[in-house]
Structure 1
């Protein structure tokens, strides 16, 4: 008889490859593991929250291995997650619950070949006040690799919902997310946050909550925030829209991100801003992307400087590029200097006159032209297209 399995049990679905011990739950296997172990999870549905606090590999058999809490009451572990700076002031950490937490500073954790399903989390967990976070997978101050996951959320949960989250404010960390599908969240598809984080997000597919989402959150695809650095390449992002006011959904973007991020070979469609570079981000390269059927191909705003937009196919959008005035939002600057757009292929971006109410206090701005520059002094160099 296996001492880790209750008498009468017949399901031994979780195996520690290194010790050959079987377990009934993923968490039991993790708790008993030694750093560096590999845990195999057989096909099946696991009604639990998983918290990883040591270096290890957690691997399933694909979408047949499902971590699916039966309700919000299963998410009993809550951890603080950092958030953005707003108007130059860091906002306080936000309480976060995650179906799978990875919190092993200075460790390296691999999570691969399984499905994380949050569709049964219908309400905000009782330990989390409203307008906080529920994530499918969250890496906190930890390096690792995320491979071939399907992450499904509930966009109507009543707080911010994220697919895959990585943040590092204190511990130098590198996280790679590859070949993952993220579906049905309301705020964050795959996010990277923190000056200690290098994130590389490649070959992923993100399907947002819909083309006319009317909830309380603004859904975005991939974002680099608060000093995070890295790249996003060969991703597909679609079905993101927000109809609730002055904010607009973004396929791939930066907000006070680190230097010299690269966005290459991505396909973005049916999104309000395919790319948005904002809030002091510098040196971002946007190249070789297919950008189509969006409201705006690339939006430059709030101090984005020295951005390079080149070799993209930007077609069948309302606007190819929009550059914001310094007066659009009172607590942000407009587009910064040094931005260039060269050697792009612009086709069928009519740039018809469009009035939009933005800012605080609100003001109405009229955008017109395939490449529309409202900034009074900083002009986009878009000579060769």
Structure 2
């Protein structure tokens, strides 16, 4: 996208430096890295940055409407509704494919959105690591809204800890020590002092929650939630004293109900040049004539599970619970990053925080993933190089 910078980066790249880069990450956070890191960050020109920011604002304009919660009530499964939901989505992430429009200009197209956690700690770390090991030009930043690294960490501290103590916030997960994103848990503890606590280790005392460390009872005031209800189904014998749906005195970051409200369920409510047309399957009077240009997505799934890229009318007719499916126009990723072994597709995740009392979420940083496969994701990118997780540096 920025040919001179890309050419200089690729010319300076060596496999030896990349291996040293990965080795240093494994040394800094032993036994935590379980996903592939791309050989390069992405460098984003101003024009595309402006479109990405505008795309986010278009989506947020819908989310702040007074009727948004009413329109998304059906998104929350009855048996998974959690009490004490706030009016705002504390954490918000928006995933965009980098494409080309009819004029040949780079443009973002929304793929997915989540009112849920992502790698807020790790992204600060990996940005620093790319700058430490590889060529990164001046005049580029991974942050937004005038933030630098210190300002970014201050934003995280304000949201996750506030005026309290770090030990009273927990990062809640099921068996955090085996999760694929556990490097983010380790970095979060390093940056903010927040402990990762397994759901099985949370104790209840009336409406109060606590955990134990070094023989001490530590009250839980805030939960940085990483538990997804779908994951609970993978552990049918899991014994917990605390159920996510219990009515307890804690502040959720982000509240589990927003996982469903800000999700694929939201896509048909959006109208923006940066959002591909999406339809609730049960509301379609007739299917689009060009079904080959659409993808079928289950509304209540995570991480690409159940997505069908190639569908027929017979496939759609056979679905009995059409209200639980979404038909979305396909997006054509452009191979915008030039690698030594060919063009690479890019997906950019904008990462927001929404502080209590503020009118809108605040864009603070990003995460990106590179792919040579049919879809973004590990199982579609086996045996490829110059693919995997990374970060974007945006032209200032």
TM-score (ref. length: structure 2): 0.22
TM-score (ref. length: structure 1): 0.22
Higher helix share: 2
Higher strand share: 1
